[in-house]
Amino acid sequence: MNKRYETSFKHKVCREYQIGGVTKVELQYRYGIGGKSAIVNWLRDLGYIADNRIKPHSAITLSANEKSDSAQLKALKKELEDAQLKLEAYQRMIAIAEKKFKIEIEKKSGTK
């Protein structure tokens, strides 16, 4: 016999699973939920997961602000990586020039 659950109860179980610290099996046992895939189906049906893969303990959907923040963070990381590569290139060019022309380009600390 199929047991019907209230939508609010399903949301409660899904949120509890998403927060973490408890497995689907533990939730099934705690609340007497039958069926191996009941909670997975609720997660999918109620929009907690977007596809067939379970992603516990993570937010499934991002708001528009979070998406723009994520894109901005990605752009900043790329910019930082480019700056670090440029710095490394400059340091190598200086080292090569100092060696080739036997001159001191970088000021050594403690000198005047």
CA atoms within 13 A on the CB side of 13: 25
State the Cα–Cα distance between residues 73 and 96, nearest whole angstrom.
Answer: 35
The identity of residue 91, as a single letter, is: Q
Percent of the chain with pLDDT over 70: 81
Here the tokens at position 75 are: 């752009």
pLDDT, residue 112, reads 64
Here the tokens at position 85 are: 């590569």
List, for residues 14-64, the tens digit of each pLDDT value.
988 888 888 889 999 999 998 888 998 898 888 888 755 555 554 445 566
State the Cα–Cα distance between residues 59 and 48, nearest whole angstrom.
Answer: 8
Here the tokens at position 109 are: 């600390």
pTM over 0.75: no
